[in-house]
Amino acid sequence: MASPGAGKTSVIENTVRRLANELHIGMINGDIATSLDAERAQNAGAQAVQINTGGNCHLEANMLREALKQMDLARVDLLIVENVGNLVCPAGWKLGTHRNVLVASIPEGDDKPHKYPGMYRGVQAMIVNKIDLLPYIDFRMEFFQTGVEMLNPGLQTFPLSCRTGEGFDIWLDWLCAARAEYLTAQG
Please tell me the predicted confidence (pLDDT) of residue 30: 96
- Residues 6 or more apart in contact with residue 178 via CB below 8 angstroms: 98, 99, 124, 125
Answer yes or no: CATH 3.40.1640.10 is held by domain 8-176.
Answer: no
Per DSSP, helices labelled H in the chain are: 8-19, 36-44, 61-68, 112-115, 117-121, 141-151, 168-186
C-alpha 43/C-alpha 136 separation (Å) is 31
DSSP state of 2: B
Please tell me the predicted confidence (pLDDT) of residue 50: 97
Please tell me the predicted confidence (pLDDT) of residue 122: 85
Show the low-confidence residues of the chain (pLDDT under 50): none
> What amino acid occupies position 52?
N
- Residues 6 or more apart in contact with residue 138 via CB below 8 angstroms: none
Please tell me the predicted confidence (pLDDT) of residue 158: 98
Answer yes or no: are the C-beta atoms of 130 and 106 closer than 8 Å: yes
Please tell me the predicted confidence (pLDDT) of residue 187: 83
The residue extents of the domains of the chain are 8-176
Please tell me the predicted confidence (pLDDT) of residue 182: 94
pTM: 0.96
